[in-house]
Structure 1
């Protein structure tokens, strides 16, 4: 019996991302999956009286986009339940926003905020006394936009028992005064040590926030994410949200491995999580490692010392530990997902992956290095040879007047030519994904793609300053980084990533043709319709097709 379509989209410019059938006019959907892709006439033959129809009127259709490095659940909760500080340009702005939030939420036991720029505000500005002036006696913990730096007030330090003579957390630091008392600034795991003292978000807090931001992500064309740091509780929240019908995203997760915890216990937990969560909607497939911090606070690990101070940061794992801790989960067929900012961290991660391959034998692991801010060019060819994927946040590859002078002074002119070198990676055959690292910066994929193509400001034009233009990429590669390559990185390429027969009908309709317009207009793109497994999860108010 001939199958008929429940949904059809006709008169479209479909970029399928399927190399065997790259372009089409129409698509048919049945039972949440793609029934057929072809010409208008081909698809019309699959319709019947009850078939729902969309006339795309010549608009572009793409596979649903997938963000393969995002802190979706934690950032949803932070944005939904905390003060948003991303727009603060000066200390007056920052304090005004925090005070307004504190005044509006008098019953919250802790005041939380997120988003101040750690390159715009310095540690000597953000003292605990300054924060006390707008938070009073309630404890307060404020995250920088990079989530590697933070700011706390006197009440928070008192509750955390941070005082003269108190220990520093491993891989973290409290900036202290001469007498050993905390000044106010926190970096790396000191933030998370403080965070553990604060009341945790409730399960319902997470679920409410995720329901809201799932739809927000859908409105920008995102149908799948790879949450870059989950644990058992967060995975259970994802499963609960899915069961409620409130999670309109596919979620793949990576669980953090700690240098100070026994390896065998952590691998056992990874296996347990994978056995529990292995569906098309919520799954755990990889182990997360932080090898270094960030350039802004001097915790990025470099091959050569900083040019400005002659100092360097240590790796968060020794190389011997990296080799051991990479090999164990690789043996159990877990993907590795590694935070690497400095070129020493990048090389050490590659060395660790190569060591694991030599011990365990090669397999289709698709291990990922994320961020790749500073890369030694000699290491780029090793990505293709070892099958390592490069996960880039290209929004950061635009001129940044707050951060660029700091980074240039740290690295010097030669290394500064190899900042976020995604273009060189693609030319040398590495598989590259584009992602956001939300809530560090925007989740908007069209702004991120525009910066990948232009290496200029989101508001820029062809006369604007350019950040290392030799590493620009084509729009086609940018889209591939959000679709086919992203699906492969999340081990979802058999059911998503391209508009191919049998795959889920995760797709989006756009208001403009990305492939013909000026690259400076990519960020203005609006998503008119988003389907997830053939179900409408977003429709723009202007779209009445």
Structure 2
């Protein structure tokens, strides 16, 4: 059906470069119809509405879509000042929604050491040295992007960073955000010694021979250092968020959830100021990050802050909970032990405290947004959802579980019955070279590694799956890449069936588009204003150079985004879109 409708739409248009002009009418619009500001015509418009309808034209008045349908019917809205865009067969989609992205972390890419894609310890050290030379007066050096695969087991050593300096702290966050590599000065400033106990929910790695802290801190242990070194400023975070918006517009992202409110100083204030200054052109529905040491008593502060944030483009309607860590750090919480260390990983929250916190948040009307990597962590996460529902009564709560790397299929029906939303990262659906065989298989065993990241089975069970990038963990967050990976589940350039990651979980194109649009809107409580192209919704629009339903899946990530509208306003235009 989708292919038939797509073909019909394409027959009505040519494939030339679009041109923009004004509607030529002598008498204005038809009687009783108000003239529009903008008409998109001759498009392959995939509306992603309830019936997955296709259309030819979209009519926009101000920030709102007022008509979706045929070219002929759209003419009724054309007035002397109406701008008409002839799309000449180009595809139109709703603005993309990134249901889990660390937008504010773009700040670190600007003001700290960027280690992403450097790949070796020597390269990391060289980057830190260059940063120190460029900024000799810094009181601490921070950075992000080293990967666990360069130093498996206990992680990279403090001595390597001591070669750069022992005079000021160095604190480098891993690419996944769950480990911190530090020098001796950082350990000293934090008061971490051989006898320092692991904080609850954290792990201090030690040299197996001497017992001294080796230089890698996991999960909550990271805070021992991060709370002792200078934070980035409000102005720096504002600049980082503005830079993110530019990147988002180029990728067609118009709505996002950043879950880092209160986890890092000054992030919330940066968003608040940008909102007050009307500088946001992404619709943010963000999340506070809950502290496992504070439990339910922190909920009143969240309520107070939520009431102070009322901007249309910036609201906080969820609370993030880190239930566990990550597989590559050996801290994802598993039902069966890791193969390489014979522990089950790291549970960050005490289950009883989590249950009461979940219930308090649910009662206050917050959406639960839980990081869960391991199958045991997800089971405990669902226990909390169930506890909250029994204590408060059933409501339209939409609790969400982020990542879902390992999942026990016995929890499938409970997940559905609780109305939980899955937030996967399809960008990761592959057997990544240098990571899969080096970390996932040795740490998990091949059987578990081969059933990672379920998606299609959850969709088939009636579970809403709303995709997120987890940027900046995922450096390139273009949703078209995520859509392709969700369909193919294979690394770029590979074609052997054995290289497909958990092939039974391959989703359809329609599934994947929905996960980045209407299902993303559902996950952020914005489906009444965005997520599909329908009259009455905000004019969040993306124009693509090709119809995704008419090209091989392997070419989706090569498709160019030509034009992005946010609430009817142009926020990005490709140079090729004249």
**TM-score tier (shorter):** over 0.9
Instruction: Decide whether the 8 Å contact of 1:16 with 1:63 is kept in 2.
Output: yes
| Residues 450-483 of structure 1: per-residue CA shift (max 9 Å, x gap) | 1111110134446682111111101111110010
- In structure 2, what is the Cα distance between the partners aligned to 1:482 and 1:46? 30
Indicate yes or no: 2:207 matched with 1:174: no
Aligned to 2:187: 157
Indicate the residue corresponding to 1:37 in structure 2.
68
- Name structure 2 gaps, 5 residues minimum: 1-31
In the alignment, is residue 395 of structure 1 matched against residue 458 of structure 2?
no
* SS of residue in 1 equivalent to 2:383: helix
For residues 524 and 573 of structure 2, the distance between their equivalents in structure 1, rounded to whole angstroms, comes to: 26
Q: Number of paired residues?
A: 542
Would you say 1:216 and 2:247 are equivalent positions? yes
What is residue 37 of structure 2 aligned with on the other side?
6
Q: TM-score, normalised on structure 1? A: 0.95
Determine if contact 1:162/1:181 at 8 Å carries over to the other structure. Answer: no
- Classify the secondary structure of the residue corresponding to 2:466: strand
Identify if the C-alpha distance between structure 1 residues 141 and 497 changes in structure 2 by more than 3 Å, giving closer, same or farther. Answer: same
Q: What is the aligned counterpart of 2:167 among 130, 137, 140? A: 137
Shift of 1:159: 2.1
Deviation of the 1:21 alpha carbon? 6.7
| Farther off after superposition, 15-24 or 210-219 | 15-24
Distance 1:472 1:483, change over 3 A: same
The reply to whether residue 374 of structure 1 matches residue 406 of structure 2 is yes
Please provide the CA RMSD for this pair: 1.9
| Residues 1:489 and 2:523 aligned together | yes
Residue in structure 1 matched with residue 449 of structure 2 by the alignment:
416
Matched-pair contact (CA < 8 Å) for 1:220–1:526: no
Query: Could you tell which deviates more after superposition, 328-337 or 15-24?
Result: 15-24
1:278-302 CA-partner distances (Å, limit 9, x unpaired): 4431111112111111111211111
- Shift in Å, 1:440: 0.8
C-alpha separation in 1, matches of 2:381 and 2:161? 38
> C-alpha distance in 2, partners of 1:215/1:513?
24
Please give the alpha-carbon distance, in whole angstroms, between the structure 2 residues aligned to 1:336 and 1:125. Answer: 32
Structure 1 residue 6 displacement after superposition: 0.7
Say whether the 8 Å CA contact 1:33–1:503 is kept in structure 2: yes
CA distance in 2, matches of 1:55, 1:245: 31
Q: Partner residue of 1:340?
A: 372
CA positional deviation for 1:226: 0.6
After TM superposition, list the pairs within 5 Å mapping 1:48-63 onto structure 2.
48-63=79-94
Q: What residue in structure 1 maps to residue 117 of structure 2?
A: 87
TM-fit CA distance, 1:179: 5.2
After superposition, the C-alpha distances for 1:4-35 in whole angstroms (9 at most, x for unaligned) are 11111111111111125711111111121111
**Pick aligned residue for 2:571 from 501, 526, 537:** 537
1:200 Cα offset (Å): 0.8
In 2, the alpha carbon distance for the partners of 1:123 and 1:140 equals 21
Asked if structure 1 preserves the Cα contact closer than 8 Å seen for 2:234 and 2:269, the reply is no
CA distance in structure 2 between the aligned counterparts of 1:262 and 1:38, rounded to whole angstroms: 51
- The answer to whether residue 462 in structure 2 is matched with residue 432 in structure 1 is no
Q: What is the aligned partner in structure 2 of residue 384 from structure 1?
A: 416
Pick closer, same or farther for the CA change 1:140–1:446 going to 2, 3 Å.
same
1:70 aligns with 2:104: no
Alignment match, 2:26: none
Measured at CA, do residues 66 and 125 of structure 1 come closer, stay the same or move farther in structure 2, by a change above 3 Å?
A: closer
Which of 458, 465, 487 lines up with 1:453 in the alignment? 487
CA contact (8 A) 1:447 1:458 kept: no
Matched residues in 1 for 2:162 and 2:342: separation?
Answer: 36
Partner of 1:514: 548
The structural deviation recorded for 1:125 is 6.7
Alignment-derived partner of residue 277 in structure 1: 309
1:498 and 2:538 matched: no
| Mapped contact 1:451–1:458 kept (Cα < 8 A) | no
Q: Which runs of 5+ in 1 are unaligned?
A: none
Cα drift, residue 136 of structure 1: 5.7
Alpha-carbon shift at residue 93 of structure 1 (Å): 2.1
Post-superposition shift, 1:78? Answer: 1.0
Q: What does the per-residue CA deviation read over 1:487-521, in whole Å, with 9 as the maximum and x for residues that have no partner?
A: 01000011111111111101110112111111111
Provide runs of 4+ in structure 1 moved above 6 Å: none
Q: Distance in 2 between matches of 1:309 and 1:204?
A: 43
Distance 1:199 1:109 in 2: 8
